[in-house]
Structure 1
Amino acid sequence: WSEEGDGSSIAEFIRIWITKHQRWNAPKYLIGESSGTTRAAYLAHRMATGEVDISLNGLVLISQALDYEGSTSAHDNVYSYITYLPSMAAAAQYHGKAGQGVPQAEFLEDARTFARDEYGPALWKGARLSPEERARIRDRLVYFTGLSPEYVERSDLRILMPRFQKELLRDKGLAIGRLDGRYAGDEADDVAEVPEADAASYFIESAYNALLNQYLYADLGVRMDRPYIVSSEAAGNAWNFRNAPEGEYWEPKYVNAGHQLATAMRRNTELRAWVANGYYDMITPFFDAEITFARYGIPQERVAMTYYQAGHMMYLHEPALDAIAADLRAFYAGQLEDRQPD
């Protein structure tokens, strides 16, 4: 399993399917969620660069993950502190820890501006920050995250997302979710550094399992005793994330399909992309989506960016589901534009 191998196998499957069903002239859209958006970008690249020669009409990217540097909260990854900050601000405001009395759109735009124009340069400056500069950055982080000045200072102005999940509501003995920061779970260990599990996941996984099994058995008539694995750690660990041809020298780096998408959209001048973002997605932050689509030469006039009051799987929130359904129809009709949530 690898990005390259996965893209090639799925592209071949699509070629065989549209040939068998005589759908070569039909409109073709790829819909991917999370790591599925990585797959969609790799697929679009293969289809536009001659591997299978299939023209796509559009890509629907739900909770995009094209450049993994922006969605990997890790000590050495300075970039991720910037991309995750506005999502932390959204969760802090939702839970009443920050931004009270400030309209959400204004609060999050201020968080974006601070992350881009002040926080990023301060992180690069590191130990060369003056005491006054450091105090200002600390106070602004406190303002946007709702965390205490002491905690932000002890974190060296660098707050990892898992730590934020545990710290935000520590005074209530709760940890917020990763898939959706609106969820909060009661954990036994109130002094742990990070959550013991994702609150959003354990609230919703059994519903996913029940729905999938019911759909397979009752609707599709599939009969099998094998369990459906909602999230497979074994499969993830077996995946090869090496993003260079086999046999070629490779210095490890984050997976990045941004360039592939840019190439696909430049070669296929009719290809459009729709990026759907959840404000409370603590895995693939919406600010990372904005930065990714601005920095790789992706044609901006063919990209629509929309936002929802929801998390990673924003369709779990019924009002967001209704909005997504309407946006999907508008995208198919070529009428979708950038939109903030109501």
Structure 2
Amino acid sequence: MRKLPLAAALTALLLGTTAIAADKDAHPADHPDAALTQPRSSETTGSVAVEGRRIDYKAVAGTLVLHEHGDKADEPTVSMFYAAYFKQGADPARRPITFIYNGGPGSATVWLHMGAFGPRRVVTSDDHHTPAAPYRLVNNDYSLLDASDLVFIDAPGAGFSRLIADETDKGKREEQMKARKKAVFGVDGDGHAFAQFITQFLSRYGRWNSPKYLFGESYGTTRSAVLANILQNDDSVDLNGVILLSQILSFDTSIDGPELNPGVDLPYALALPTFAATAYYHHKLPQQPAALEPFLREVEQYALGDYANALMQGSRLDDARKRAVAEKLHQFTGLPVDYLVKADLRVTGGMFEHELQADGDLTTGRLDSRFSGPSLDPLSKDSQYDPQSSAISSAYVAAFNDYVRRQLKFGNGLQYRLFADIDHWDFAHKAPGSHGEALQQSVNVMPDLATAMKTNPDLKVFLNGGYYDLATPYFAADYEMHHLPIPASLQKNISYAWYPSGHMVYAHEQSLKALHDNVARFIEQTDNVK
């Protein structure tokens, strides 16, 4: 394995990076937010080899400033950071552009930038803990720059993005910052912030006539549904495509905490195929199937059939039938029959992660259930941490902090925040057709995506997910798509791809290649460039 100095030298050789514009990060001492009120940028150049094909590009790391709507339209509210890559010599009117973001909510976009589609990729171990620094940063053979220009966006308050308070009085400043947080830290405020950023970006870089795509991961898929509807129906921006990775549109399908929402049994049924895939991977099944995917088709059929029916019976389910279902679940998950009976056939994500490998005092990963780690408390009911997150986060953080300063020439003297400082996220959502009222219920943005598809019937949607994702199980995403309130004729606009990986599909290199090839093909087929 190469050490970091060699990787850094290789970076300079492959990217040929030179600073064109100086970074303007310095903050005046008397007003810490003053520098945030003006857009800043640093331009560099480089090249990347994508599956053997060299692509020269211009990189811009910078910020755009969002402003208040209405009477305070001139008041700056958020400085949003982005890293954009433009292919050199391409016609902007024919060159696709893809806006990319992670989820959280309130996450920086370091993961998709350094793990999936940026020109440089950090190397992490496939299904176990990545050793500590130095980390390897390599040419990304699967950067999406061969198919599209790329704009990686940090959510308000995350990464180098900052909320802006221009009051100098301490008390007034605190109140203003609270108002800023309330305005953007929520489903609708976040969606409008990203919409304002994207329309500003299109104007600043002359990309209004480019084919346009959204790419969101995890909560970023929730955002994409809201954002697609805002762009389409508020800003008259027709999108060519929406690409969803590790989707969650209806939070009533989540396997995280369904016990707090009794009477809604859907999450247990929709998570069962991922439980089965995980047990298959760790060889915990009573009888190991010959292949994963045929096995999953069998589990999916049972999940929506006999298992869902049994759950719907509630207390009406007799003991003999409950035992029979538990024995079937044992065949699919490897969990003990008595445990399943005691759990009333309802196993949450945290329970499964703790129990599957309890015989070895191991906790199974949530974001990627191929990972395992020592259980913090072998006697607890639920998992208490995520081994996959612990295994790779340090590599991403270190690699990006070094890369953005050394290669993109941005961020000296600034802290890169993985997550925004969110006290409260407002999940109330004004769904299309809700007559202006924010619905006080579990978030469900399926109507937003459906409205965007109906008002732009040429809009194509591409859903991607990993079989080993316990954060947003793939079958729950599949279920959501087949229950969108759209005409049957629009279902043909949705395509699907599943991978033998977890929530961060790209953390598995073979899946990253497949993801790249699939997304590049999707863009090529939908960009309307003749």
Superposition TM-score tier, normalisation by shorter sequence: over 0.9
> In 2 relative to 1, CA 231–102 (structure 1 residues): closer, same or farther, beyond 3 Å?
farther
Is 1:13 paired with 2:197? yes
Q: Which amino acid aligns with 1:95?
A: H
Q: Which runs of 5+ in 1 are unaligned?
A: 336-342
> In 2 relative to 1, CA 325–10 (structure 1 residues): closer, same or farther, beyond 3 Å?
same
| SS of residue matched to 1:238 | coil
Cα shift readout 1:2-53 (whole Å, capped 9, x = no counterpart) = 111111121122112112222111100001000011111111111222x111
Q: Which amino acid aligns with 1:210?
A: A
How far residue 231 of structure 1 moved from its aligned partner, in angstroms, is 4.6
2:376–2:384 contact (8 Å) kept in structure 1: no
How far residue 270 of structure 1 moved from its aligned partner, in angstroms, is 1.6
Match of 2:207 in 1: 23
**C-alpha distance in structure 2 between counterparts of 1:212 and 1:67, whole Å:** 32
Match of 1:156 in 2: 344
Higher helix share: 1
2:186–2:426 contact (8 Å) kept in structure 1: yes
Q: Which has the larger radius of gyration?
A: 2
Q: Which amino acid aligns with 2:355?
A: E
Q: Which amino acid aligns with 2:347?
A: I
Deviates more, 1:243-252 or 1:215-224: 243-252
Cα shift readout 1:129-152 (whole Å, capped 9, x = no counterpart) = 123321221111111110001111
**C-alpha distance in structure 2 between counterparts of 1:303 and 1:34, whole Å:** 18
Match of 1:243 in 2: 429
2:322–2:341 contact (8 Å) kept in structure 1: no
Match of 1:300 in 2: 491
How far residue 225 of structure 1 moved from its aligned partner, in angstroms, is 3.9
> In 2 relative to 1, CA 24–231 (structure 1 residues): closer, same or farther, beyond 3 Å?
closer
Q: How many residues align?
A: 332
How far residue 210 of structure 1 moved from its aligned partner, in angstroms, is 1.0
Where do residues 54-203 of structure 1 align in structure 2 (5 Å cutoff)?
A: 54-73=237-256, 74-75=258-259, 76=262, 77-98=264-285, 100-203=288-391
Higher relative contact order structure (alpha carbons within 8 Å, sequence separation ≥ 6): 1
How far residue 222 of structure 1 moved from its aligned partner, in angstroms, is 1.4
**C-alpha distance in structure 2 between counterparts of 1:83 and 1:227, whole Å:** 39
Match of 1:339 in 2: none
Match of 1:319 in 2: 510
2:365–2:388 contact (8 Å) kept in structure 1: yes
Match of 1:290 in 2: 478
How far residue 223 of structure 1 moved from its aligned partner, in angstroms, is 3.0
Higher strand share: 2
Cα shift readout 1:244-269 (whole Å, capped 9, x = no counterpart) = 48997766311111111011011112
| SS of residue matched to 2:482 | helix
Q: Which runs of 5+ in 2 are unaligned?
A: 1-184
Q: Which amino acid aligns with 2:303?
A: A
> In 2 relative to 1, CA 72–188 (structure 1 residues): closer, same or farther, beyond 3 Å?
closer
Q: Which amino acid aligns with 2:196?
A: E
Cα shift readout 1:105-145 (whole Å, capped 9, x = no counterpart) = 12111111111011111111011112332122111111111
Deviates more, 1:219-228 or 1:325-334: 219-228
Is 1:217 paired with 2:397? no
How far residue 185 of structure 1 moved from its aligned partner, in angstroms, is 0.2
Match of 1:38 in 2: 222
> In 2 relative to 1, CA 162–263 (structure 1 residues): closer, same or farther, beyond 3 Å?
same
